[in-house]
Structure 1
Amino acid sequence: MTDLFESMTEHHAERLAIMQESGVENAEQLAAEDLHRCEINDVMLRYYPKKGDKAAEYFDKVEKSRGKPAADRLRDDVRAAWKQRRFEEAGQA
């Protein structure tokens, strides 16, 4: 399995370069937001619903790499996305 951190870093660099070459204003911010959305989706695809222990390990790795605020934001956003997905799958959307 590909190292998620490595693939996320590559994605961010490529997305940022495309945006900058295209003359997109706020390219850095937009690329970071895009990366965050992609990371949420990737964490959900890799770890949920049956690999919560592996997700916890990933969040710990994020905290060591990017700090507690980044890990907390990612954790909270993944939980919100998972809750929304469960809501939609139950036919509540």
Structure 2
Amino acid sequence: MSKSWSMNHREVSYTFGPENVDEFLRKNDMDLICNAQQLAIIFSAPNYCSDFDNAGALISVDESLMYCFQILKHVDRRPGLMIKR
């Protein structure tokens, strides 16, 4: 383990530096990591369990790593619109 890794203050996980992220991205042929806890909370179930009036969201990332969020509003369900199999 490199010196840039260290135990976090609660001693339940590790903290790491940008060089570790760069190494991970290079080894895994990736360009970007999105950490939902620090970037934004993205919940993709609009009107979750019909109890919450929440929106869902998608993050789109293009080739130049520019990103945008798309908000998904829930649609009221109407009887007879469900497909039955």
TM-score, normalization by structure 2 = 0.26
Bigger radius of gyration among the two: 2
Asked which structure has the greater RCO (Cα within 8 Å, sep 6+), the reply is 1
Q: Which has the higher strand share?
A: 2
Structure 1 length-normalised TM: 0.25
